[in-house]
C-alpha cells in the first residue's frame, strides 16, 4: 500500500473538489483506497493544526478551505463517530 505525503493528500483533495466527483468515484479513478481516502480530510486538518502552515512548504494557502469542505461534506454522509448521537 502506498503512503501519501500531506502535500499529495492536499493536492488530491483539491483535485477531487474541483472535479465534482464523489469521493468514492475519485478514489477509484486514481487507484486510491477509498477507506483511506475518506480519512484524508481529517488527517490533513490534524497535520495542519499540529504544524505551522509555513513548515509545509508546498501546501497551498487555501488548503484548509478545501479540507474544511471535505470534512463537512463527508461528515454529513458518513458514519464517522463524531456524527453519531451518543445519547440513546
The 10s digit of each residue's pLDDT in 7-62 is: 999 999 999 999 999 999 999 999 999 999 999 999 999 988 877 555 555 555 55
Grid cell in block for residue 43: 488527517
pLDDT value for 88? 46
**Mean pLDDT (whole number) for 53-76:** 60
Task: Please name the residues in contact with 83: beta carbons below 8 A apart, sequence gap of 6 or more.
Answer: 75, 76
Handedness of CA 24, 11, 46, 60 (dihedral sign): negative
| C-beta separation of 70 from 59 below 8 A | no
Which residue pairs from 61-67 have beta carbons closer than 8 angstroms and sit at least 24 positions apart in sequence? 63/10, 63/13, 63/14, 66/10, 66/13, 66/14, 66/17, 67/10, 67/13, 67/41
Q: Which of the pair, 72 or 82, is modelled with greater confidence?
A: 72
**Mean pLDDT (whole number) for 67-78:** 64
The residues spanned by each domain of the chain are: 6-78
Amino acid at each position: 500500500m502506498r503512503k501519501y505525503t500531506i502535500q499529495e493528500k492536499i493536492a488530491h483533495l483539491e483535485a477531487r473538489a474541483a472535479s465534482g466527483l464523489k469521493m468514492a468515484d475519485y478514489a477509484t479513478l486514481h487507484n486510491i483506497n477509498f477507506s483511506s481516502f475518506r480519512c484524508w480530510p481529517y488527517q490533513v486538518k490534524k497535520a495542519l493544526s499540529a504544524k505551522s502552515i509555513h513548515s509545509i512548504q508546498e501546501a497551498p494557502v487555501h488548503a484548509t478551505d478545501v479540507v474544511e469542505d471535505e470534512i463537512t461534506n463527508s461528515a454529513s454522509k458518513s458514519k464517522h463517530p463524531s456524527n453519531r448521537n451518543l445519547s440513546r
